[in-house]
Structure formats: structure tokens, C-alpha cells
Amino acid sequence: MTELTDRYNRKHTYLRISVTDRCNLRCLYCMPEEGMQFMAQDRLLTYDQIVEVATAAAGFGISKLRITGGEPLVRPGIAGLIDRLKAIRGIEEISLTTNGLLLGAQAAELKHAGLDRVNISLDTLDGARFKFIARRGRLDKVLEGIEAAAAAGLTPIKLNCVLLKGINEDEIGRFLRLTEERPVHVRFIEYMPIGHDDAGWRERYLPLARVLEEAERLGIAYAPLPDGPAGNGPSENYRIAGAPGSFGLIHPVSNHFCASCNRLRLTAEGDLKPCLYWVDELSVRPALGSPEAMRELFAKAMRIKPENHEMAALLAGTSQSHVPTERRMSQIGG
């Protein structure tokens, strides 16, 4: 096997690696405020094991890695891991998704280690609302992290904004205007029912058609940006006339992008997930130390990967063909 191609002729070149399920926030769309059970530290894949899996994946055509969590920057030694991953033959790009709270202190070191760019979660530009959504932390620390990332050259900087009906949809205009002021790339993301198909999700879900409706209401002139910023992935991108930044829509529920999916996920304890939403997982631990077993593991992931995640069917209340995961997003790696 020289490349990872599934039954639907989708070629996989992207591996998202979660390094921890722990987080220093408790965002209301990601995990409960109290009572979250985190895995024991000795259950996490070691950095040596992560490098082994990533090296095998690179041999199968994976060229892009993203470090995720939980919050990846709470795990010590991340810069050292990135340095090792960047040295793997075939790995062309490494990015990281973070809530930004610890980024101010680590941005320069991460860049020096070989990190190419960051995605920073930012669901509001209001300090009090930040406390309501994240339940912990401070907005000003996230803003410091954004400044540090820019100073370190971790660009293009993408700001991930999960839109929540009745909570932050009134800030769409502020985020759009932010792209006129700064060379940042705001990505509005639909709230997904990962690990909690409940009334709260249904009440807060907002289709991203709302973003373009708001832009038109405000008289904001925008145009499609076909190429988008580096690593734009499934984002549908736009730029306001004359703006240094851009905005994008990632709508996995209302307009899923499964037909072009090129990614696999590795959870913090070592399970390979072909699809974010479904329950199917394959432990890499039995394959460690055996190139042949690792090859078969990745090949099996391609064989069992479904055509799509069917979140829209869930929203519509119709039946689904597979079993959804019960894991929270923080337990998978977003």
C-alpha cells in the first residue's frame, strides 16, 4: 500500500493527532462544566509512539499533520514533539488547533520547532460572553495568544468561531469586520452533535446561511475566494472587498463535505478513527513495532470508512445507517 484510498476513491493525506483529552476550558458545546472524566496520563500515547504512527502514515502518503486535543498546549513538551514530527520524511506541514490561552508563552518556541500555523478557537469578542461560553479563562489571554502567533510568524492565523443560536449569532457582523481590520481568517463553524445528540444541540444549532444573510443585511460586499488561505480544507471562503483577511463557512451539518474528505484522526490513547462522527475506531497499540501490522491497520481504516456522516439526517429526525460515537469532541480530537 503506497497511498490511502478508500472505497469511494477518496485519497487521504491528512492526519489529525490528539495529544490529550484535557482542557483548561469547559466550552458549553464541547463538554459539561463539571464531572468530566479525563483519562489517566499513562493511557496516553507516548511521544515515541505518536512519532512511530506518524512515520508509518507518512509512508502511506500522509503529508499534513494537525496537533489537537483537548487543549494540546496543556501537555508538556509539545514543541519537542513537533520538532520530531517535522523531521519525518514526507511530512510537509504541521498545524495546531488551540484555545489560545497558553499560546502567548509558547508561540515563538512552537514556530522554532517547525510549527507552520495555528487555528485559534474564538467564539466571541465580548469578555463577559467568553466567560459564559468557555466557563473558564479570559478573553484577553486569547487575544494575547493571537498577537504572539502573528509575531512569531504562525500564519495564516485562522479563528474558529462555533455559531450558537441565541448566544453569539449577534456577533457575526463584528467577526466579519475583524477581517477588514486584520489579516486573520475567521471560520464560522456549525455546531455538531458529537457525543451529545440532545435538545441543547437542536436548540442551539444554526445553519451558516445565516452568516451570508447577515453580511447582506449589513451591506457588506463580499466575493468568493476559491483558493482561500493555506490549508483551507472544507471551508467555503469569501473576502470582503479590500479586506486583508477573509471569512469561511464550515457547515458539516447543512452542507456536509464528506465527498472530499481526506483525513483520519488519531485519539490521545491511540485509536485511529476513519470518521469523526461514527463509533468505529481501530487501536494502533497492537500494531506498534510491526510495519506490516501498521500497514494492515491503515488499510482496514480505508475499508471501513463510510461514505458520509449523516448528521443532516439526525437533524431531520430520520434514521442513520451507522452508530454515532458517544465520545465528546475533546475526547476525539477536533
pLDDT confidence of residue 259: 79
pLDDT confidence of residue 194: 64
pLDDT at residue 261 tops 80: yes
With beta carbons less than 8 A apart as the criterion, state whether 121 and 98 touch: yes
pLDDT at residue 193 tops 90: no
The 3-state DSSP class for residue 249 equals strand
Cα 241 to its chain centre, rounded Å, is: 28
Whose cell is 454515532? That residue is 324
CA distances from 307 to 4, 63, 71, 310 (A): 15, 23, 29, 9
Is the pTM higher than 0.95? The answer reads: no
DSSP 144-191: HHHHHHHHHT--SEEEEEEE-TTTTGGGHHHHHHHHHHSSEEEEEEE-
Report the run of H or E that residue 16 belongs to, with start and end. Answer: strand 14-18
pLDDT tens-place string over residues 79-103: 999 999 999 999 999 999 999 999 9
**Angle formed at CA 27 by CA 44 and CA 74, multiple of 5 degrees:** 35
CATH of the domain at 322: 3.20.20.70
- Least confident window among 57-61, 91-95, 111-115, 312-316: 312-316
Which of 201, 27, 31 lies closest to 131 in space, CA to CA? 27
Report the run of H or E that residue 51 belongs to, with start and end. Answer: helix 47-59
How many residues belong to the chain? 334
Domain range for residue 22?
Answer: 4-332
- Least confident window among 26-35, 223-232, 239-248, 323-332: 323-332
- Looking at the 3D structure of the chain, how many domains does it have? 1
* Cell matching residue 192: 455538531
pLDDT confidence of residue 252: 65
Whose cell is 502514515? That residue is 57
Bridge partners of 266? 17, 272
With beta carbons less than 8 A apart as the criterion, state whether 120 and 100 touch: yes
- Least confident window among 86-90, 241-245, 309-313: 309-313
CB atoms under 10 Å from CB of 102, counted, come to: 17
Beta strand residue intervals within the chain, DSSP E: 4-5, 11-12, 14-18, 64-68, 93-98, 117-121, 157-163, 184-190, 222-224, 236-240, 246-250, 263-266, 271-273, 282-283
Spatial separation of the C-alpha atoms in residues 329 and 46, rounded to whole Å: 21
